[in-house]
Amino acid sequence: MAGSATSRWGLRVLGLGYILLLLLIPLGFVFYKTFEHGIAPPFEAITSPDGMHALKLTLITVAIAVPLNTVFGIACAILLVRHKWRGNFLVDAAINLPFAISPVVIGLSLFLLYGTTGWFEPALAEAGVKILFSVPGMVLACIFVSLPFVVRETVPVLQEIGTEQEQAASTLGANSWQAFWRVTLPAIRWGVAYGVVLTTARVLGEFGAVSVVSGSISGQTQTLPLFVEKQYENFNLPGAFGASILLALLALATLLAMNLLKRKEAA
Amino acid sequence: MAISVEGANKRFGDFQALKDVSIEVPEGSLTALLGPSGSGKSTLLRAIAGLETLDSGTIVIDGQDVCKTPVQKREVGFVFQHYAAFKHMTVYENVAFGLKIRKWDKKKISARVHELLDLVQLPGLADRYPSQLSGGQRQRMALARALAVQPQVLLLDEPFGALDAKVRKDLRTWLRRLHDEMHVTTIFVTHDQEEAMDVAGQLVVMNEGRVEQSGSANELYEHPANEFVMSFVGEVNQLGEHFVRPHDMEIVLDPDDRTQEGLVQRIVTLGFEVRVELVLSDGTEVWAQLTRAELQRLELREGQIAYLRPVQAKSFNGSPPSYPRGASTPLGSHDGGDAGVPAAV
């Protein structure tokens, strides 16, 4: 067993070293830089009107994109797993597109549809709806990039639970809606929850696609990641780092919330 | 409630699971659908429950054609081989499920659930989760859950198939007693002929999507309609065109015009019963079931020549056997589930 002890320690050092070097040291450095001159500079940057607006806008995109992608993701997973048909492989492949395509390309594609020469432009102009350089465009971009997470996390658990519990529910008098709410959804809830956390993290941090469609107008179409970039460009490092930390904390909070829920359930 | 199925056909892709199946299940009876895997027995059961739709044919429960009735309205209790327990619910919540769907009030639900948990001998386990129960306990919970809503009929799909032999025997005795108390029309699917004969009053033997024969255990054993039924409900030797039960094989030491010569290969003593395995001159392997006293009287030894005289034999000319040839079954019951009986060499 001596050999395995060596390899165990080797693996530990390698794994921890990798995380330390590439993840924890850069993140730690951000923390250090942020508070280098005390808590006031980053605090001021975040609580400035533009900072607060960026926070609000970020939370709005999360509040719209995450529920939509959750509902769509569950429905899509059920379609893929429970209602097999020939077109399924196409749906399956299409869902992975946002993973495969660069967010910048996604942003540009929205331009082609909603831009001044875009397909939908005449109809939208007539209705007086503005998509690009405003919140709807940013939400669309976020939905696009974060679409696969809930589907991808839900499909395997849905496959694993099988159909017998649902069939049992139906023999006990439950219609398909009742069977879904009382049996299927509780059974897949942790897969869905994990998908929701990943979706939230992705929407919070999305930069590329949002940056293309938003125009990054301070106080109007700036989410937190865009705000960070602007602060950085303006050499306001404490502001940039402060907003970065706020972003990181938001993501951590969603992870923590899921773990707490899970622990509460297990207790 | 009496159940009657007529002319049922069901196809899955290229596989014809049911071929013009008709069965009659009298009210209050306990009926077994018996057959090897792929014989269509589970498909038939699931069609009665409404979990499968027939391509053609009718299913009548208590005088009502239920073919158009969705599963949740059929008022059937269904028990699955692998329990299908709701894993995120406690035992109590599992049993209460159907009652909650029917919007019973809480006090009535509580009373009913506890009554059922007593009935299935799981009192005190109401707050456990299915993962904390043994297989036998889970299946009893599933049975309580199915019975809670007072179904018209109770359908069990290989209910003991996933349990070990001891629990299986206990549970089948217990199921028969439960049925005697409740009198709910019950159909259960099994591939184990011993289990079917032990539990059920009526047996329906299925093979390759067809009903081969139905009747009481005794009728099937004594008057099998064909080779398949004969070899599926008991052990059998094949001698040319004839089929003989091992206990209908007499062994004698002096030949006459009705005996066949055989070489004693092996003598196995199983308590009261003795199994003598012989090879005939044409290479057919057969075995005879003797008592210890008979063995002692004959003073048989392995390697000697003895003579076989079938006391009672059957032949099924006219009904082509749908069963693989070579029907000697020295290893006992068919609880392996497949029709792959070791062929006589």
Rounded distance between C-alpha atoms, residue A188 and residue A206, angstroms: 27
Q: pLDDT tens across B157-194, in order?
A: 999 888 888 888 888 888 898 898 888 999 999 999 99
Instruction: Looking at the complex, report in whole angstroms how far the Cα of residue A157 sits from the nearest Cα belonging to chain B.
Output: 13
pLDDT score of B327 more than 70 = no
pLDDT of residue B329: 38
pLDDT band of residue B216 (cuts 50, 70, 90) is: very high
pLDDT of residue B140: 93
State both tokens at B296: 């002692």
- Tell if the CB–CB gap between B72 and A171 is shorter than 8 Å: yes
Is any Cβ of chain B less than 8 angstroms from the Cβ of A139? Answer: no
State both tokens at B132: 């904390």
pLDDT of residue B318: 55
pLDDT of residue B52: 94
Q: What is Dmax (Cα atoms) for chain A?
A: 76
Rounded distance between C-alpha atoms, residue B94 and residue B86, angstroms: 6
Identify which of A171, A178, A183 has the shortest CB distance to residue B49.
Answer: A171
Rounded distance between C-alpha atoms, residue B339 and residue B336, angstroms: 8
pLDDT band of residue B341 (cuts 50, 70, 90) is: very low
- Tell if the CB–CB gap between B71 and A187 is shorter than 8 Å: no
- Tell if the CB–CB gap between A169 and B51 is shorter than 8 Å: no
pLDDT score of B81 more than 60 = yes
Per the prediction, chain B carries an average pLDDT of 88
Q: pLDDT tens across B113-166, in order?
A: 999 999 898 999 999 999 999 999 999 999 999 999 999 899 999 998 888 888
Q: pLDDT tens across B224-270, in order?
A: 999 999 999 988 998 888 899 999 999 999 888 888 899 999 999 98
**Packing angle between helix A237-266 and helix A40-47, nearest 10 degrees?**
80
**Beta pairing, strands B185-190 & B30-34:** parallel
pLDDT score of B335 more than 90 = no
CA-nearest residue to A184 within chain B is B86
Is any Cβ of chain B less than 8 angstroms from the Cβ of A183? Answer: yes
Instruction: Looking at the complex, report in whole angstroms how far the Cα of residue B5 sits from the nearest Cα belonging to chain A.
Output: 19
- Tell if the CB–CB gap between A183 and B86 is shorter than 8 Å: yes
Q: pLDDT tens across B287-312, in order?
A: 999 998 888 898 888 999 999 988 88
pLDDT of residue B116: 93
- Tell if the CB–CB gap between A170 and B86 is shorter than 8 Å: no
**Is pLDDT larger for residue A135 or for residue B99?**
B99
pLDDT band of residue B286 (cuts 50, 70, 90) is: very high
Per the DSSP assignment, residues forming a β-bridge with B34 are: B190, B205
CA-nearest residue to A183 within chain B is B86
pLDDT of residue B340: 35
- Tell if the CB–CB gap between A173 and B101 is shorter than 8 Å: yes
> What's the order of all strands across the beta sheet hosting B56-61?
B15-25, B3-12, B56-61, B64-65
Instruction: Looking at the complex, report in whole angstroms how far the Cα of residue A166 sits from the nearest Cα belonging to chain B.
Output: 8
pLDDT score of B1 more than 50 = yes
Which residues on chain B place their C-beta less than 8 Å from a C-beta of chain A? 49-51, 70-74, 76-78, 80, 82, 84-89, 97-98, 101-102, 142, 145-146, 149
* Backbone angles phi and psi of B214, in degrees to 5: -135, 155
- Tell if the CB–CB gap between B72 and A173 is shorter than 8 Å: yes
User: Mean pLDDT lowest for which of A115-129, B8-22, B64-78?
Assistant: A115-129
pLDDT of residue A255: 84
- Tell if the CB–CB gap between B145 and A171 is shorter than 8 Å: no
Strands (E), chain A: none
- Tell if the CB–CB gap between B145 and A182 is shorter than 8 Å: no
Tens-level pLDDT at each residue, chain A (267 residues): 556 888 889 999 999 999 888 888 888 888 888 888 888 888 888 888 989 999 999 999 999 999 999 999 999 999 999 988 888 889 889 999 998 999 999 888 888 888 777 778 788 888 888 888 888 899 999 999 999 999 999 999 999 999 999 999 999 999 999 999 999 999 999 999 999 999 999 999 999 999 888 888 888 889 999 999 998 898 888 888 888 888 888 988 988 888 887 787 766
Query: What do you get for the CA distance between the two ends of chain A, in Å?
Result: 37
- Best of A171, A183, A188 to mutate (most B CBs within 10 Å, chain B): A171
CATH assignment of A39-266, among 1.10.1740.10, 1.10.10.10, 1.25.40.10, 1.10.3720.10 = 1.10.3720.10
Instruction: Looking at the complex, report in whole angstroms how far the Cα of residue B147 sits from the nearest Cα belonging to chain A.
Output: 9
pTM: 0.81
CA-nearest residue to A179 within chain B is B101
Identify which of A171, A174, A175 has the shortest CB distance to residue B76.
Answer: A171
Identify which of B71, B102, B145 has the shortest CB distance to residue A170.
Answer: B71
3-state secondary structure chain B: CCEEEEEEEEEECCEEEEEEEEEEECCCCEEEEECCCCCCHHHHHHHHHCCCCCCEEEEEECCEECCCCCHHHCCEEEECCCCCCCCCCCHHHHHHHHHHHCCCCHHHHHHHHHHHHHHCCCCCCCCCCHHHCCHHHHHHHHHHHHHHCCCCEEEEECCCCCCCHHHHHHHHHHHHHHHHHHCCEEEEEECCHHHHHHHCCEEEEEECCEEEEEECHHHHHHCCCCHHHHHHCCCEEEECCEEECHHHEEEECCCCCCCEEEEEEEEEEECCEEEEEEEECCCCEEEEEEEHHHHHHHCCCCCCEEEEEECCCEECCCCCCCCCCCCECCCCCCCCCCCCCCCCC
